[in-house]
Homo-oligomer: A and B are copies of this chain.
Amino acid sequence: MKLYSYAVSSASFRVRIALNLKGLPYEFAGVHLLRSGGEQFAPAFVAVNPQSLVPALVDGDHTLTQSLAIIEYLEETHPEPPLLPKTPAERARVRSLALLIACDIHPLNNLRVLKYLKRALKVEDDARDAWYRHWVNLGFTALEARLAGDPATGRFCHGDVPGLADCCLVPQVFNAQRLKCDLSAMPTIRRLHENCMALEAFRQAAPANQPDAE
């Protein structure tokens, strides 16, 4: 398999964790989102993903996009170890935690959105950072309430085995820390993040440990 990835891309980070948790080796293909006008817009990459977004995973004849669709694909093609629990209700819980991050936090703080705020809407840097923190804080406050108030939360987002929701949680915490968001009121999120980062699969997937780290 070949993964088109960018070190600090949060969605790429999710897929790297999933590949590592499943022990799947992959070839690395760097797509630098900031260099020479953005390598994601170069014809070579647009042919891979017309949406000009990373990650993309090539597996044989199949080119897959969208981090959560890629992880579900890995789960179906390489079921062990599982990243989703067994019952439909538990699976819905894990997916909803992942989607809370992937739909309600991350898209608002994506590079292309921050650029639009600055260039098209002339938003000052301070107001742009406040925007970033607003959506992290809103999403993480709800996530903290859900995680802290539910006995299904264990050492990880669901029980004592890392899974799909953890693949989304850790990159989002990484982003939040990078933008100096205040996570003091989110002890559960910080505890789960720490438990994840004690595992080699998460550490090896971190931006600083990528071939294209800067």
Contact = CB atoms under 8 A, between A and B. Distances in A.
Interface in A84-133: 88-89, 91-93, 95-96, 99-100, 102-104, 106-108, 113, 116-117, 120-121, 123, 127, 130-131
A184 to B, nearest CB: 19
A72 interface: yes
Interface string A3-20: 000000000000000000
Given A62-B92, A72-B91, 6 more contacts: A59-B89, A72-B95, A104-B107, A117-B121, A120-B130, A121-B131
- What 5 pairs across the A-B complex have the smallest Cβ distances? A69-B95, A66-B96, A73-B92, A69-B96, A51-B142
| Chain A binding surface SS class | helix
A134 B107 contact: no
Tell me how many chains of this kind the complex includes: 2
Which range holds the interface residue count of chain A?
Answer: 35 or more
A65 interface: yes
Interface of A: 50-53, 59, 62, 64-66, 68-70, 72-73, 76-77, 88-89, 91-93, 95-96, 99-100, 102-104, 106-108, 113, 116-117, 120-121, 123, 127, 130-131, 134, 142, 145-146, 149
Nearest to A84: B72
A69 B51 contact: no
